[in-house]
């Protein structure tokens, strides 16, 4: 969407069949659109940690950002405050904070490569990435096993899965699959060895 107002209008339009619990504008304004205990329709088809129907088991937060620029300081500060409350109220571990791109590889790319996951992880508001350094050349099977262990259980082809993992854990990564892609995953150092 081109603005937070346009996003709000779409998220509140019954014809659009999409909604979210919260929308945070680029200026940091937090709008609650759906009560937390109620189901919103932000996730769509996908899976995480073997569960599908993510809409029924999540609180959706949309951020006013088209993915072409960094997220603003006021927006990130508001997100951090909102996440602290949600995680405490619902007893959600930091590892339970995921991106749309995590649960729907290939179909969703948000919040995108400019989102500062490391900032959230340093505050215990998202799970950390792995160390990301490895000289090992992995197999596709080893990468899939590590990604599945990290929670990536949605159906996705190899390219979409690699893109989703990189969006979250290694947004600067380019080129073919490499050992750093496995090591960047949480517990990537415990991944099965490459064959």
Cis-peptide, bond into residue 111, ω within 30° of zero: yes
- Could you tell me the two tokens for 101? 């791109």
Distance CA 128, CA 170 (A): 12
DSSP 72: P
Q: Which of 17, 36, 62, 163 is catalytic?
A: 62
Report the candidate in 135, 130, 133 with the shortest Cα–Cα distance to residue 147: 130
Active site residue 62: yes
Q: Rg of the chain over CA atoms, in angstroms?
A: 17
Catalytic residues: 62
């Amino acid at each position: 969407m081109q603005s937070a107002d346009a996003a709000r209008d779409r998220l509140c339009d019954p014809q659009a069949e999409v909604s979210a619990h919260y929308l945070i504008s680029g200026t940091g304004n937090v709008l609650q659109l759906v009560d937390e205990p109620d189901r919103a329709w932000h996730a769509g088809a996908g899976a995480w940690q073997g569960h599908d129907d993510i809409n029924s088991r999540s609180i959706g937060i949309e951020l006013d950002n088209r993915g072409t620029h960094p997220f603003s300081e006021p927006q990130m500060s508001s997100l951090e405050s909102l996440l602290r409350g949600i995680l405490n109220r619902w007893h959600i571990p930091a590892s339970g904070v995921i991106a749309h791109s995590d649960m729907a590889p290939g179909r969703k790319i948000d919040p995108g490569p400019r989102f500062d996951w490391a900032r959230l992880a340093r505050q215990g508001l998202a799970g950390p990435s792995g160390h990301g350094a490895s000289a090992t050349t992995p197999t596709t099977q080893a990468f899939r096993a590590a990604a599945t262990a990290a929670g990536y259980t949605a159906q996705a082809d190899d390219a979409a899965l690699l893109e989703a993992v990189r969006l979250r854990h290694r947004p600067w990564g380019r080129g073919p699959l490499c050992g750093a892609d496995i090591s960047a995953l949480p517990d990537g150092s415990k991944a099965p060895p490459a064959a």
